[in-house]
Amino acid sequence: MIELPAEELGPLLRRRKVSPVELVRACLQQIEKLNPQVQAFLTVTGERALAAAREAEEEIRRGRYRGPLHGIPYAPKDILATKGIRTTNGSRVTAEWVPEYESTVTERLGAAGAILVGKLNLLEFAMGSGQRGLVAPARNPWSLAHSPSGSSSGSGAALEARMVPLTVGTDTGESIRGPAKSCGVVGLKPTYGRVSREGVTALSWTLDHVGPMARTVGDVAAMFAVMAGAKERSGVGVKGLRIGVAEGHFFEHLIPEVARALRAAMGELEKLGAERVEVKVENAAMASPALSVILGAESASVHAERLRESAGLMDPLVRERLEANSLYSAMDYIHALRVRTVMKAEMRRVLAGCDAVLLPAGNPAPLLEEEIVETDLPPAVARAPRPDVMNLANLTGIPALVLPCGFTAGPPALPIGMQLWAKPFGEAMLFRIGQAYQGVTDWHQRAPGMVG
């Protein structure tokens, strides 16, 4: 049962072939079995979830079916406020905070009948090192020695460990799409502002996004419709669509296996009738430095009071980053905003000539210990170059979708992800292309050995 996506579970629940109570119990059993290894959940709300499941079962029995998420278990990143349930932000600073209000996203999911079963691990305040947060870092179900990536680490790991079929993450630089890539699941960073951030602890208010994560594009689309409050009507198939491939900058520092997988994915789309279009994003390398300044200045403002009053409880790296970020000047910030304006215009130009852009989602998951050591390196120490594939979408606010498109040879075999970008408010186009691709591939159906 837990291996099925929500789009298959929903009809079974509606026809009463599967009970919401049975489904929630199966998820709770999987959490109990695997969470000690994976560390995806910070809080499990078992009794509350079972009560909600019994209510959903009775509503469905009476013909009061609310829609495709009714009776489906889910879990949000523990940065979304949940009324009466502690919301830790992955930090000792807010470890005992129990909000008196609900985030808009969890409120909407609850109104659609989705059942919250707990809250998920993350990097502290969505910016920590991953090793000195509230608890141990989440681990990748494909290989416990590897990172699930962050900051929505628990959101990716819980999905691939089959603990829940749906999760919610946040993305300021790559924090939904990185875990989606590393764990072999699907993650959407919506158009900026398309999904409400009310009740979500801020990191950078002009860069933060909230988005759905699941194992299929169809499930992500169903969640997005609820979270955004608007159903997306997308076409079927990719025949006649123009898909831009931006090699150059975005393919730099990729390992050969990833580059081959991306080209093979584009080949599958071409077989389905899509047209490949070569595109170039001018000055793409400007995006990440500009994003770093904006994120840095805004995060220092957001957390100024916590830094003054609770610095001793923070991950030392979080404290160090916030202290350094407070040194950005107004001129630095304004220059970065001007770069954003330039890059928004550039993406309008690029996307005017195609329906979507296909690019990598980065290299496969790194070893967790190596990632932590590299994160803690002082700025003066050179880091291994990484693909710069994520930040431009956050800086410009365009929607971006990541889904699995292969595996490394291993051992261990690790997921490889592809990324799609579209015009602002073009989520339906991303779903259309992603569903067409998943219709002819099975990467999203594969499960880690620990799942059994």
Cα 443 from Cα 215, distance rounded (Å): 10
- Asked if 329 is an active-site residue, the reply is no
> Of 337, 356, 357, which is closest to residue 245 (Cα–Cα)?
357
Beta bridge partners, 74, equal 116, 166
Give the burial class of 4: count Cβ atoms within 10 A of its Cβ; 0-12 exposed, 13-18 middle, 19 or more buried: middle
Question: Cα dist. 180→150, 300, 415, 416 in Å?
Answer: 10, 27, 9, 10
Q: Which residue out of 175, 182, 204, 299 is catalytically annotated?
A: 175
Quote the tokens at residue 4. Answer: 């099925």
- Asked if 175 is an active-site residue, the reply is yes
Quote the tokens at residue 35. Answer: 């969470």
Cβ partners under 8 Å of residue 342, min gap 6: 283, 286
Q: Which residue out of 19, 103, 151, 204 is catalytically annotated?
A: 151
For helices 217-228 and 427-439, what crossing angle results, to 10°? 160
> Of 153, 133, 142, 178, which is closest to residue 75 (Cα–Cα)?
153
Cis peptide before 147 (omega within 30 of 0): no
- Asked if 151 is an active-site residue, the reply is yes
Residue 112 contacts residue 226 (beta carbons within 8 Å)? yes
Helix, strand, coil percent values for the chain (each to nearest 5): 45, 15, 40
Q: Which residue out of 19, 77, 103, 189 is catalytically annotated?
A: 77
* φ and ψ at residue 142, rounded to 5 degrees: -75, -30
Residue 73 contacts residue 165 (beta carbons within 8 Å)? yes
- Cα-Cα-Cα-Cα dihedral sign, residues 296, 385, 211, 87: negative
Residues designated as active site: 77, 151, 175
